[in-house]
Amino acid sequence: MSLPSAVATLERELRGIFGARMQSLVVYGERARHARRDDRAKHARHHHDGHDQESAVRTMAIVEGLTGDDLRACADRVTTWHDAGLATPLVLAAHEFERSLDVFPLEFGAILADYTVVSGANPFERLSVDRADVRRAVEVQARSHLLHLREGYIEAAGRPAAVAVLIAESAAPFTALLMTLARLDGHQTSDAAAAARHAERLIGLPGGAVSEVARITSIHDVTTEDADGLFPAYLDVVERLVTYVDQWR
């Protein structure tokens, strides 16, 4: 997979900051980034805001020791990195990633599943995420989403327009929940529709119920007419997902 020239520039500048303390640089999330880009092109819904964080190239630097001066030096260059299409790099001290796997199993597990070493040794060799940590994190995600929907509906006071906004604004977290649920069962995907179909099979909801909720929430433009009919089904789907994850073995 070819990498943008900006990554090579980033690598040189980080080595200028950290010197011999620079151990590794990796690019991660490339497959997911290309999937998001293709999906936007398919739906012709790209919005340019000067710096598209979703399509920005994500990197992680592993260094031996990290000081306040290092952070200030990175801060001085971050605008240039953004302008070159790079996300703000994650900078971790040696062994910090490994020791954080149980705390961030979803986020760091996604990195382990989709990365390319740019320079240095492979910092992730022989690392893996414990499935029990993933299950616990998915349950937190699912229960938090359920509580958010219930609280949001009450705060909407039954007004269809407010419920429509609640549904639309919860689209991204719902899609993320479906994808992490698929990951829990060993199905790594960045396709929301595929993750929705997988969830339907897992929780035994025939007729495309999860897919329909995912499709409508993903357009970020729910009408007041759709909101009244959609929300009960949406809430039921999330409740079933919570039950499934709670009982997962």
Model confidence over 86-128: pLDDT tens digits? 999 999 999 999 999 999 998 898 899 889 999 999 999 999 9
Taken as a whole, the chain contains a residue count of: 249
| Residue whose C-alpha is closest to residue 46's, from 56, 36, 33 | 36
Q: Does residue 48 carry a pLDDT above 70?
A: no
Q: Does residue 141 carry a pLDDT above 70?
A: yes
Q: What is the CA radius of gyration of the chain?
A: 20
Residue 92, H or E segment: strand 90-93
Q: What is the pLDDT of residues 7-18, one digit of tens each?
A: 999 999 999 999
Q: Pick from 24-28, 125-129, 202-206 the range whose average pLDDT is largest.
A: 24-28
- Residue 46 is predicted with a pLDDT of 42
- Rounded Cα distance, 82 and 99, in Å: 29
- Residue 61 is predicted with a pLDDT of 97
- Rounded Cα distance, 223 and 216, in Å: 10
